[in-house]
Structure 1
Amino acid sequence: MTATKQVIVIGAGIIGASIAWHLARAGAQVTVIADSAAGGIATPNSFAWINASWGNPEPYFRLRTRAMAEWTRLAQDLPGLPLSWCGGLCWDLPAAELETYAAQHSAWGYGIERVDRAGAARIEPSLVEPPDFALHVAEEGVAEPVAATKVLLADAQRHGAKIIASTVTALVQTDGRITGVDTSHGLMAADEVVIAAGVGSPDLAATAGISLPIETPPGLIVHSRPYQKLLNGLVLGERLHMRQTAEGRIIAGSDFGDADPGMDGEATAHELFAALQASLRDSDGLELDFHTVGYRPTPIDGFPIIGRAEGMDGLYIAVMHSGITLAPAVGLFSAREILDGERDPLLAPYGLGRFAQ
């Protein structure tokens, strides 16, 4: 490793913060450039579920479970990290599909427990209508997204990282290599540039002639005012996913990827909140505070883009949905690859080059 390698990280969401923290801890000279507050755009609007749940092929499951383990390691290094392994109760699939998911993921080592109606009621006693059959994974959890990002960035600064509020307008190329960035405050040089700018990543990459095939579907989440404790963990029911935050807010989306706000986000938010309130006992005093609409940076095949851009030295790209789950592993693996040239085998399927085939 070159301990004095100068790296610019574009983006201050959870992925950029994790990469910056791991790089700074490893001895690199790190500058984080962002045109938004800590947390970026997508991170503050995340449901923040840490999981390796249904719908994952085994290689992606292995990356996600490694990331879950890395959250535990990260919490040991950063005692103030707002992380809770609260468990997840899921019945957001038809019963036969739930069974298929349980059998497959249990065989892979995921800690799934099958529960009946009484078991679901014991786990979440505030549910008005507990499901007849659900799956409980005690090892799933949440990280309060903006607070976790701030902890990472603050500790990166303690290790010498600089954080600059500016807009990156273009990548700078010299002899076929990325050598820095042009910003609203002028040119900045670096040995390596990391694009971790979420939905802004494709426009940045395009300034170097690189195409990032990314979609940005919207996701609506409703946030209650802080309230008495009603939920013990994650609740992933039919068309209603909810949890209670560390400050007592109940937040909810309508599906695995949050809710599409439709043509009238305000009306959709009120409908969703009404469904949330109707699903919980002792919720008469629960009030809607606000709703958020986040745009999730999702590569078109659904899987992360993590790695160097082929044919363009000096540029590393880290763009994905499920940034909350993946952040600690992506930070660790990216730092190793940037500084040591060591690519973790778990990242093998997720290079940008797969889209050229």
Structure 2
Amino acid sequence: MGSEKHVIVIGAGIIGASIAWHLAKAGARVTVVSDSGAGGVATPNSFAWINASWGNPEIYFRLRIRAMAEWKRLAKDVTGLPLAWCGGICFDLPPAKLEAYAAEHSSWGYGIERVDAKRAGEIEPNLVAPPDFAVHVAEEGVAEPVPTSKALLADAERLGAQVVVGNVERLALAGGKVAGAIVSGETIGADEIVVAAGAGASAIAATAGIKLPLDTPPGLIVHSRPYRKLLNGLVHAERLHMRQTAEGRIIAGSDFAGGDPGEDPEAAARDLFVTMKSALRDADGLELDFHTVGYRPTPADGFPIVGRADGVGGLYIAVMHSGITLAPAVGLFATREILQGERDVLLAPYGLERFAR
């Protein structure tokens, strides 16, 4: 692939960083614009789980499986990405529902192992109460979100991309298509614009007359101080999802996206941390460091919005909640569509036009 198109990517979180890297790799002239710098806003507050799990239809499962494979491809192209294929153990559903989930996803080719308490204790020996029945998926992993975004943007800059820190006031239009973006009072011209600004995408798209049906529910995640290794992988217990980061922090939410922080997030964070600490052996010295409340960009039907915006030429939208999992596939597919006009079949259900129907 190759192109001399100038593409502005608005957003420096994991989705914007991946799209920018793929575009630069393909030969486009790329300008990344963000008012928050590398890492974006939602990405730093992510649980950062790479997976194809949960109650999704098979067509979405196929996109997520492809994205997991694309992470491995991307890790070969960009050295030093902080990925870990640590596996995940899940027991946050009633046994009958967990078995139904395992049977369905196994039939789709997902590598699910059904485990008892003995095997669960071998996988995660520091669990105080290993479950009698759980499922384990060894191929799931994590991408440390901010370092991964920064690594992609740094390599995009090496490939010629420019990263600009500034506030996108509005999109500039001419003749029914985008002509650029007004950034902190200055106009940056472009042939194409990608809006990958997470929770901020709606306001930016609205300046071009495009309505994004987007919700931004809050999610509370607690972060411990760095500690010795207690967890081998991801643990999804009832009302407690947790993992240990590369620097030794244990992070947790009441689910993987973070739970509702309520009216007193600090109190909710303290309670959640107590629950997390009590679930782990040898955690007496574990201390709460801080909590985050992230606002997850979630399209109204729960599925990604990836594709061109009808009625405005040169405008591409990429906004979704499953940003960590989907980032490498969305970056690759968006680049092909923007530069070559080729839309991957896996993206077919996820255009903005579905909401007009």
Normalising TM by the smaller chain, what interval?
over 0.9
Contact between 1:307 and 1:350, CA under 8 Å: does it hold in 2?
yes
In the alignment, the residues of structure 1 paired with residue 32 and residue 25 of structure 2 have an alpha-carbon distance, to the nearest angstrom, of 14
Taking the TM superposition and a 5 Å limit, the aligned residue runs for 1:32-181 are: 32-181=32-181
Q: Supply the AA of the counterpart residue of 1:346.
A: L
Q: Which residue of 2 aligns with 1:261?
A: 261
Contact between 2:85 and 2:138, CA under 8 Å: does it hold in 1?
yes
- Give 3-state SS (helix, strand or coil) of 2:115's partner: strand
Structure 1 residue 183, shift from structure 2 partner: 1.3
Contact between 1:180 and 1:189, CA under 8 Å: does it hold in 2?
yes
Structure 1 residue 346, shift from structure 2 partner: 0.1
Structure 1 residue 37, shift from structure 2 partner: 2.1
Contact between 2:46 and 2:257, CA under 8 Å: does it hold in 1?
no
- Give 3-state SS (helix, strand or coil) of 1:302's partner: coil
In the alignment, the residues of structure 2 paired with residue 285 and residue 256 of structure 1 have an alpha-carbon distance, to the nearest angstrom, of 24
Q: Deviations over 1:175-218 (max 9, x none)?
A: 11111111114111101000000000000111111100000000
Q: Which residue of 1 aligns with 2:221?
A: 221
Q: Supply the AA of the counterpart residue of 1:51.
A: N
In the alignment, the residues of structure 1 paired with residue 26 and residue 2 of structure 2 have an alpha-carbon distance, to the nearest angstrom, of 10
In the alignment, the residues of structure 1 paired with residue 306 and residue 343 of structure 2 have an alpha-carbon distance, to the nearest angstrom, of 10
Range that drifts further, 248-257 or 120-129: 248-257
Structure 1 residue 257, shift from structure 2 partner: 2.3
In the alignment, the residues of structure 2 paired with residue 3 and residue 345 of structure 1 have an alpha-carbon distance, to the nearest angstrom, of 22
In the alignment, the residues of structure 2 paired with residue 197 and residue 256 of structure 1 have an alpha-carbon distance, to the nearest angstrom, of 21
Contact between 2:169 and 2:185, CA under 8 Å: does it hold in 1?
no
Identical residues among aligned pairs (%): 72
Q: Which residue of 1 aligns with 2:321?
A: 321
Q: Deviations over 1:261-306 (max 9, x none)?
A: 0000000000000000000000000000000000000001000000
- Give 3-state SS (helix, strand or coil) of 1:30's partner: strand
Structure 1 residue 311, shift from structure 2 partner: 1.8
In the alignment, the residues of structure 2 paired with residue 247 and residue 287 of structure 1 have an alpha-carbon distance, to the nearest angstrom, of 14
Contact between 1:166 and 1:185, CA under 8 Å: does it hold in 2?
no
Q: Which residue of 1 aligns with 2:243?
A: 243
In the alignment, the residues of structure 2 paired with residue 216 and residue 272 of structure 1 have an alpha-carbon distance, to the nearest angstrom, of 22
Contact between 1:269 and 1:291, CA under 8 Å: does it hold in 2?
yes
Q: CA RMSD in A?
A: 0.7
TM-score (norm 1): 0.99
Q: Deviations over 1:298-351 (max 9, x none)?
A: 001000000000121110000000100000000000000000000000000000
Q: Which runs of 4+ in 1 moved over 2 A?
A: none
In the alignment, the residues of structure 1 paired with residue 203 and residue 216 of structure 2 have an alpha-carbon distance, to the nearest angstrom, of 13
Q: Which residue of 2 aligns with 1:210?
A: 210
Structure 1 residue 259, shift from structure 2 partner: 1.3
Taking the TM superposition and a 5 Å limit, the aligned residue runs for 1:257-296 are: 257-296=257-296
Contact between 2:169 and 2:183, CA under 8 Å: does it hold in 1?
yes
Taking the TM superposition and a 5 Å limit, the aligned residue runs for 1:8-47 are: 8-47=8-47
- Give 3-state SS (helix, strand or coil) of 1:182's partner: strand
In the alignment, the residues of structure 2 paired with residue 229 and residue 46 of structure 1 have an alpha-carbon distance, to the nearest angstrom, of 21
Number of residue pairs aligned between Structure 1 and Structure 2: 357
Q: Supply the AA of the counterpart residue of 1:86.
A: C
Contact between 1:216 and 1:296, CA under 8 Å: does it hold in 2?
yes
Contact between 1:10 and 1:197, CA under 8 Å: does it hold in 2?
yes
In the alignment, the residues of structure 2 paired with residue 342 and residue 206 of structure 1 have an alpha-carbon distance, to the nearest angstrom, of 26
In the alignment, the residues of structure 2 paired with residue 179 and residue 333 of structure 1 have an alpha-carbon distance, to the nearest angstrom, of 23
Structure 1 residue 256, shift from structure 2 partner: 3.6
In the alignment, the residues of structure 2 paired with residue 4 and residue 185 of structure 1 have an alpha-carbon distance, to the nearest angstrom, of 26
Q: Which residue of 2 aligns with 1:352?
A: 352
